[in-house]
Amino acid sequence: MSDLVRLEEITKYYGERENRVAALSGISFSIAQGEYVAIMGPSGSGKSTLLSILGAMNPPTDGKMFVDDIDVYKLSSERQADFRREYLGFIFQQLQLVPYLTAIENVMLPLVVSDEKDHETKASQVLERVGLAGKSHRLPSELSGGEQGRVAIARAVVNEPPILLADEPTGSLDSATGAEILSLFSELHLEGQTIVMVTHNPDAVAGANRMIQIKDGRVFEDKLFDKGPV
Amino acid sequence: MTLTTIALKNITRRKGKMALVVFGLALAVATLVSVVSLIRAFQGTVDDKLNEYGFNIIIYPKSKELLIKYGDMVLGSVSSYQAPALDQADLDRVALVGKTSGRIAGYSPKLLEVDRVGGKRVLVAGVDFRAERRIKKWWLVENGRFPAAADEVFVGQTAAEKLGIEAKDTISVRGRVLRVAGILMETGSQDDDLIFAKLDTVRAMTGKPGQVSLIEVAAKRTEDVDSLARSLERALPKATVQSVRQAVEFKSSALSHLIKFGLGITAVIIFISGLIVFTMMASAVNERKVEIGIFRAIGFRRRKIAAIILSEALMLGLISGVAGYALGFGLAQLLPAVSRGAVSAIRPSLTLALTGAALSVGIGLLASLIPAWRAANLDPVEALKNL
């Protein structure tokens, strides 16, 4: 598997001078195409900062990030937006569905800024893929937690991004629903999707084939599961 | 799905806030529409009234001597009451100017003579009653009727009281017996002091065939008075042509004040409206930080974010334009009803409707520029707080 993502000595400071705090210090690792990486760590360890850097939304104070050999933070702000559209799919903590758009409209959002012509057909196909074919015209408030999670995943993959970034996708769900969502992630991984997930959930780790532990802004442990994804 | 769909969906979701934006913009449009409509109605009414108030040009023979005038009535020179005269050719020239310019509503020749009735000196005016009534629409009969026969006269209110004359009485003027057909209802002008007889009757009594002392001319529009006066001056080199300035100046002054007041009020309302829109849109952007963060995270460029905000402003502007025009027009319609017809009826105007819509859209977009810029430049990480 070739390296899709490469982080080189990523450092991120917040604050100024004597109030400066290092969120990340000298993080370096690569992610190969098709990997399912779970990033774990205690609160304040820097995992959210790491995910935002991976998401091309938070320029590091030092270091470089390459995706598909593109030096991401050398791009202009607007080209970074284009990069996110083309390379990344996001599943946010709390899912963050747009409350006034229906399920299918939420899924169509990334298509608004893409070259895709037939938004509705594409979105319908993806919703069917995640098992929500009959609920495309419901608002998020009319869907269960698990269904909202599926919509969030559909929205993230509709543009077929090479990398899926997920921030605690099961954090607000009960265990049964969480398991459903993780099962979906596993299915996507089996299809070749590269996934990077920040999580506290041991079940999510169990589904991944690699775990990176962050502690005090550094890589504490980087473990590849020989047996592959569960 | 398009940016417009996103904008429209957001508008329908935030009905309360958007209703306030629509209210603010509609208020500005309603103010503009009602002020402009009222100015137009007032303009029309004043024009009508001023045109009803008879002549605005008076033509009398040139004289090197000082003239005796009361108001705009020329009575003669100081050396005698024997005033110089205009003749039929001059009347024909006035008619020709009216025909070629199309700007004369009517004209009335008069032959003025001082005479004695009942031992008292009175001014007798020989007039063409039909022409006179065309330019003096306020002439009403107090008692009796307008003269029909050549030996009938019409007496001003004050003259009738002072001479003790009533309708159907007879009077003697220059030895000729004339019957009082009617008494003129008080006008508050010099006409109250006159005795009016038929022009040919006075010409015959005074031995002045074809002559007139002066010609009163009513222009169709007060705006044309000056140019019409100049045309008459050129056509009548022997005459002095004088425009009655007060009417024109009154109208210009009154309208000018009304316009300034109206525009002032409109400008204040537009400013307030802009503030309302700015505040509401800025507040809406603040509430949508997370949503905007999502858009940026999934690849929306800054200009797309700004386009969503400005699309909302555009749609609200159009809605407000229609609502504001309807409201302003409705308010303006109250005035003719309240004034019992004193102010002209107000008609719908496509130009005004389009201007109102343009104003509404303009204010909406302008007031939304800063909120749109702020939305476009939100840091997505900060907006999402937790990614």
Say what the pTM is.
Answer: 0.70
Dihedral angle sign, alpha carbons of residues B311, B316, B319, B325: negative
What whole-number distance in Å separates Cα of residue A228 and Cα of residue A124? 31
For residue B87, is pLDDT > 70?
yes
**pLDDT of B78 over the 50 cut:** no
What is the per-residue pLDDT for B386?
A: 45
Helix (H, G, I), strand (E, B) or coil at B38: helix
- Range A164-175 average pLDDT: 88
Tell me whether residues A57 and B291 touch, CB distance under 8 A. no
Q: What is the pLDDT of residues A182-229, one digit of tens each?
A: 999 999 999 999 999 998 778 778 889 899 999 989 999 999 886 444
Confidence of residue B197 (pLDDT cuts 50, 70, 90): very high
pLDDT average, residue stretch B178-192: 91
pLDDT-derived band at A107, boundaries 50, 70, 90? very high
Q: How far apart are the first and last CA of chain B?
A: 26
Asked if A8 and A73 touch (Cβ cutoff 8 Å), the reply is no
Cα B39 to its chain centre, rounded Å, is 7
> Regarding predicted confidence, which is higher, B78 or B144?
B144
Report residue B69 as tokens: 């005038």
Give per-residue pLDDT as tens, B298-312.
999 999 999 999 999
For B190, residues 6+ apart whose C-beta sits below 8 A from its C-beta are B70, B71, B73
Give the contacts of A172 (CB within 8 A, at least 6 positions apart). A93, A94, A95, A145
Q: How many CB atoms lie within 10 A of CB A2?
A: 8
| pLDDT one-digit tens code per residue, B361-382 | 999 999 999 999 999 999 888 7
Go through the domains of chain A in sequence order and give each one's CATH number: 34-59+70-224 (3.40.50.300)
Q: Say which of B1, B291, B299 has its CB closest to residue A84.
A: B299
Looking at chain B, the whole-number percentage of residues with pLDDT higher than 70 is 86
Q: Give the gap in angstroms from C-alpha B284 to the nearest C-alpha of chain A.
A: 14
Tokens 């005698």 — which residue?
A: B80
- The share of chain B scoring above pLDDT 90, in percent, equals 48
Is there a contact between A57 and B387 if contact means CB atoms under 8 Å apart? Answer: yes
Which tokens hold the place of B22? 């629509």
Query: What residue type is B109 in one-letter code?
Result: P
Q: Where are the domains of chain B?
A: 3-48+251-384, 56-243
B149: left (phi over 0), alpha (psi -120 to 50) or beta: beta
For A48, which of B291, B300, B386 is closest by C-beta distance? B386
Predicted local distance difference test score (pLDDT) of residue B332:
82
Q: Would the pLDDT of A124 be above 90?
A: yes
Interface touch B296/A57, C-beta < 8 Å:
yes
Q: What's the pLDDT score for residue B14?
A: 82
Q: What is the mean pLDDT of residues A80-84?
A: 94
Residue A230 has pLDDT above 50, yes or no: no
What string of H, E and C letters represents the secondary structure of A156-191?
HHCCCCCEEEEECCCCCCCHHHHHHHHHHHHHHHHC
Q: Which residues of B touch A110 (CB under 8 A)?
A: 298-299
Q: Which of A51, A99, A112 sits opposite B2 (nearest CB)?
A: A112
CB atoms inside a 10 Å sphere around CB B100: 11
Residues 6+ apart with CB under 8 A from B210: B87, B88, B203
pLDDT band with cut points at 50, 70 and 90 for residue B52: low
Cβ contacts (< 8 Å) between B302 and chain A: which residues? Answer: 77-78, 81
For A110, residues 6+ apart whose C-beta sits below 8 A from its C-beta are A85, A89, A155, A158, A159, B298, B299
Specify the pLDDT at position B342. 57
Per the model's pLDDT, the better-predicted residue between A124 and A1 turns out to be A124
If you measure CA to CA, which chain B residue comes closest to A85? B299
Closest residue to B387, CB basis, from A51, A81, A83: A51
What 3-state DSSP class applies to A113? coil
**What's residue B220's pLDDT?**
84
Query: If you average pLDDT over every residue of chain B, what do you get?
Result: 85
- pLDDT at position B46: 67
Tell me the percentage of chain A whose pLDDT exceeds 70.
97
* Model ipTM value: 0.90
B387 touches chain A (CB under 8 A): yes
**More confident: B43 or B328:** B328
Which residue of B291, B297, B387 is in closest CB contact with A98?
B291
In the 8-state DSSP scheme, what is residue B85?
-
Lowest mean pLDDT among B6-20, B117-131, B332-346: B332-346
For chains A and B, what is the number of CB pairs under 8 angstroms? 83
pLDDT digits (tens, 9 = 90+) for B215-250: 999 888 877 888 899 999 999 988 989 887 655 566
- Answer whether residue B323 shows pLDDT above 70: yes
pLDDT of residue B73: 55
pLDDT of residue A228: 47
Q: Which residue of B has its CA nearest to A83?
A: B299
What's the rounded mean pLDDT across residues B282-301? 91
